[in-house]
Amino acid sequence: MRHFTFRPTLTLSGRSFKGLRGWSGKPLHPPLTDVPVTAYLFVAVFDVLSIAFHSSHPAVGHQLFLAAGWTLAGGVAVSLLTALTGAVDWYTSSEPGTQARRTINAHAITMITVTMIVLVDVIVRLTAYSDRASTPVAIVVLSVVAAALVSFGASLGGTLVYDYGFNVETAGDHPVWHKSETDVMPGQHQSVPPALAGEETSGSAAGAK
C-alpha cells in the first residue's frame, strides 16, 4: 500500500488559470493571507516582549522593537496583493443577498480596518518613535488590537472555506477518497474501483428492499 502522494498537489497541469484568482484548486488569496496574519501576530508579540525586556536587557528590547517594525512592513507589503486577490474573489465568486456574500463583507471590512490600523502603526513608528530604545505603549496597543482583529478576520475567512465551501471545487465524493493505488491528477476523473462499485450497488439494492 502506498503511503505518500506529492505530484497531484504540486502540478499545475490540468488546472484552469483564472487570472488574479489563481488556478483551479490553487487559489491565490488564501495562501497570501497567511503572511499578514502571521506577521501581525508576531509584531504584537515582539512589541510586548520589547517592553518586558527593556529594563533588564535594553539591547534586547531595542532589537525586538526593530524586528517588529520590519515584520510589520513585510506584512503590509503582502497585504496589498492579498486585498487585491480577495476583492477579485468577492466580485467574481459571490452573489449579493447570500450569507456567503455577507460573511465575505464582514471578513473584508475587518481586514480593511486592520490595514488602516497597521498603516497608522507604521507611520507612527517611522515618524515619532524611530529612535526609541523599546516599543512605546501607544504602539503596543495598536499592535495588540491589530493582532486581535486579524485573528477574528481570519476566523471569518476560515468559515467561508470550511463551513461554506467557498471556492472549493471538488465534491465530497471525489475519487481521491476511494481506495485506489492510482493517483488522480487535476482535471482527471477516475471511475469508482470495481470492488467499491460492487459494494455501492449492493447497498443500493439493500436500501431498495
Q: Which residue has better confidence, 76 or 26?
A: 76
Domain ranges of the chain: 21-162, 175-208
| Tens of pLDDT, residues 43-77 | 999 999 999 987 788 888 899 999 999 999 999 99
First-to-last alpha carbon distance for the chain, in angstroms, is 36
> How many C-beta atoms surround the C-beta of residue 44 within 10 A?
24
Q: Quick one: average pLDDT of 67-90?
A: 94
Flag whether pLDDT at 22 surpasses 80. yes
What is residue 117's predicted lDDT score, i.e. its pLDDT?
96
Between 192 and 66, name the one with better pLDDT: 66
Q: For residues 21 and 13, what is the distance between their CA atoms, to the nearest angstrom?
A: 17
Task: For residues 74-85, give the mean pLDDT.
Answer: 94
Instruction: Dump the DSSP string for 135-201.
Output: --HHHHHHHHHHHHHHHHHHHHHHHHHHTT-TT--S-TT-GGGS--SSPPPTT--PPPPHHHHHHHH
11-25: average pLDDT? 87
Nearest to 187 by CA among 174, 172, 177, 197: 174
- pLDDT mean over 108-124: 95
The confidence score (pLDDT) of residue 50 equals: 93
Helix 99-127 and helix 137-162: axis angle, to 10°? 160
Q: What digits encode the pLDDT tens for the residues 129-165?
A: 767 788 889 999 999 999 999 999 999 999 999 888 8
Yes or no: say if 117 and 44 are a contact pair by the CB < 8 Å rule: no
**pLDDT band at residue 204, thresholds of 50, 70 and 90?**
very low
pLDDT reported for residue 172: 67
| Residue 75: how many other CB atoms lie within 10 Å | 25
Q: Is the pLDDT of residue 121 over 80?
A: yes
pLDDT at residue 167 in the model: 82
pLDDT score of 24 more than 90? no
pTM of the entire predicted model: 0.80
- What pLDDT score does 88 carry? 93
Amino acid at 200: E
Separation between Cα atoms, residue 21 and residue 88, nearest integer Å: 7
Q: Confidence band (pLDDT; 50, 70, 90) for 181?
A: confident
- Residue 171 is predicted with a pLDDT of 66
Q: Residue 161 is which amino acid?
A: V
Strand partners, 151: none
